[in-house]
Each structure stands twice: as C-alpha cells, then as structure tokens.
C-alpha cells in the first residue's frame, strides 16, 4: 500500500511543474554531527533559481518564506525560510544561501535518517517568481530507494541531482507503459543483450521529431529508447520467468540482474542521448 502511495506521489511530481533536488542526507544535514550549522545543504545556484527575490545585496540577509510539506512522514507543515546570508557585503564574512527552519519534527533533521535518499520537489512559480512550497519525501526503506534509483541511476552519498521534474523523473512514467512490440529487433539481439549505445543508435532511426523544443525532443528520444529496451528485456527475460525457478536464490539472482540492468540504463541514458545528439 505504502509503495503504491509513494509511486503515485513520484508520478504526480514528474508530471507537474516541479523542480526536484535529490540527495542522500549527510550527518551535517540531519544534525548527527552535533555541529552548529545544522540544516539541509542546498547549492547556492539552486536557491538563486528558486527564490530570485533574495538574490541581491540591497539589504542584509534578504529572505522569503515557503511552506514545507512532508509527504513521507506524519508531521505538520512548517514555514521554512530561504535566506541569503550576505554579510560579506556589509563588512563581515558570510556569503551563502540556505533554506532553514524545516521544523523540529522534520525527518530532514532526524539523525536516524542520515544516509536516507531524499527528494525535495519545489513547486515552480508560473511567472518566474519565488517558489512558495516544497513537497518532501525521505525514503524509509531500500524498496523506496530502489524505485528512484531504477529510474535515475544510483545516488551515492555526496552526489546532488537536480533539475526539472519531468527530465529527472521522466523514466518513472515510462515504466508504467506496456511493452511496445512494433519494433523489429536486429537478429543478433536475440542472442545477446545490446549495449546502451547500440539501443540508442537503433532508436534514432525510429524517432520522429514532433517538436522544436530541445527538452521535449530529448524526452521523446528517451521514450523510444525505453520502448526498445523493454522489448529487448522481455525477449531475454520473459521465457526464463515462464519456466519458473528451482529455488528462491535463482529468483533473487534474476531479479537483481534485471534491477541492476535497469539502473545502469537509467543512469547512462541521458548522457548517451546528449552525446548522440551532439554528434
């Protein structure tokens, strides 16, 4: 039940006008280090993009409020603050942008959640103004983390992933589609699983440009590539599943193999598509 709630939440975020920020919570983020500056680290450039009104030095430490809602845990909404600590321009030393005041009961500041994969979805303002709300999910299990990493690739501690939700989480909506059997695969692919580059090269010959927008073109290319990937996957995996398994270990081995291949594809797909479009 909870997994379906989580998956629906991700799909909703992916399909609406959100900017997502994904990372594993560090000990400094959650306060596990006991340090003075406790709070989730968010790069200055992201805060600048989401809260343009505070990007100035006309006054000391300009700030703006936003509503922080945690969908993964049962805790009250809080009024977080995006602030530009700009005292360097007023004779002191500090010059950084942060989002603070997540609330005492927030899972973002629970030391037990150190290392947890976390998504912050900032609702973008249609007119380009300040973001007024952020929706948060702190993963509570490896199952939840696997859902995300299958779509975007492995997220290692210290890595920061951010961008428009449709681009970052687009693979999640693709996973809901049934296998498309309209493609005629090369004969040798029936004997071996092709590389990501081979699938993308093959997909290029089946891609029809329906938009002049580069982002939409990229998403369309990834849809075609994913359709073909699923067809190849079915070709190599479905018969094994139909034959059944002699032991639980055999089943787990196949499941891990499929999951790892999907993670690998998701992690490399965007890079390979960008490389192919440049050449």
Q: Is the per-residue pLDDT at 121 higher than 50? A: yes
- CATH code of the domain made up of 2-166: 2.40.330.10
Q: By CB neighbour count within 10 A (0-12 exposed, 13-18 middle, 19+ buried), where does 201 fall?
A: middle
Q: Boundaries of CATH 3.40.91.80 in the chain?
A: 177-278
Higher pLDDT, 274 or 224: 224
Higher pLDDT, 260 or 91: 91
State the virtual CA torsion across 123, 125, 126, 128 in degrees, nearest 10.
-140
Taking only the tens place, the pLDDT of each residue in 172-229 is 654 445 566 788 899 999 999 998 889 888 888 877 666 676 666 676 777 788 888 8
Q: What is the arithmetic mean of pLDDT over 46-60?
A: 93
Higher pLDDT, 80 or 181: 80
Q: State the pTM of this model.
A: 0.64
- Determine contact, residues 50/19, Cβ cutoff 8 Å: yes
State the virtual CA torsion across 153, 154, 158, 163 in degrees, nearest 10.
20
Instruction: Please tell me what DSSP assigns to residue 124.
Output: P
Residue 92, Ramachandran bin (φ over 0: left; ψ between -120 and 50: alpha; else beta): beta
Cα-Cα end-to-end distance for the chain: 45
Question: What top-level class would CATH report for the domain 177-278?
Answer: alpha beta
Taking only the tens place, the pLDDT of each residue in 242-269 is 888 888 888 888 887 887 787 777 667 6
Which residue(s) pair with 134 in the sheet? 68, 122
Q: Rg of the chain over CA atoms, in angstroms?
A: 22
């Amino acid at each position: 039940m909870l997994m379906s709630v989580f998956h629906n939440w991700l799909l909703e975020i992916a399909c609406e006008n959100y900017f997502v920020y994904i990372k594993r919570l560090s000990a400094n983020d959650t306060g596990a280090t006991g340090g003075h500056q406790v709070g989730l680290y968010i790069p200055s450039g992201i805060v600048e993009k989401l809260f343009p009104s505070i990007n100035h030095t006309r006054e000391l430490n300009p700030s703006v409020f936003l509503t922080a809602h945690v969908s993964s845990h049962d805790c009250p909404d809080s009024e977080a603050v995006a602030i530009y600590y700009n005292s360097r321009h007023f004779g002191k030393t500090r010059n950084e942008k942060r989002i603070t005041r997540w609330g005492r009961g927030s899972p973002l500041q629970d030391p037990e959640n150190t290392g947890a994969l976390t998504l912050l979805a900032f609702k973008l303002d249609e007119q380009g103004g300040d973001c007024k709300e952020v929706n948060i999910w702190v993963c509570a299990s490896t199952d939840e983390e696997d859902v995300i990493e299958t779509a975007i690739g492995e997220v290692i501690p210290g890595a920061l992933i951010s961008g428009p939700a449709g681009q970052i989480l687009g693979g999640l909506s693709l996973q809901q589609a049934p296998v498309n059997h309209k493609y005629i695969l090369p004969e040798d692919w029936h004997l071996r699983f092709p590389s990501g580059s081979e699938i993308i090269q093959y997909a290029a010959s089946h891609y029809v440009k329906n938009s002049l927008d580069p982002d939409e073109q990229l998403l369309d290319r990834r849809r075609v590539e994913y359709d073909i990937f699923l067809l190849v996957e079915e070709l190599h995996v479905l018969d094994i599943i139909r034959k059944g398994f002699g032991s639980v270990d055999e089943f787990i081995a196949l499941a891990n193999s499929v999951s790892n291949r999907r993670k690998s594809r998701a992690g490399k797909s965007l890079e390979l598509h960008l490389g192919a479009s440049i050449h």
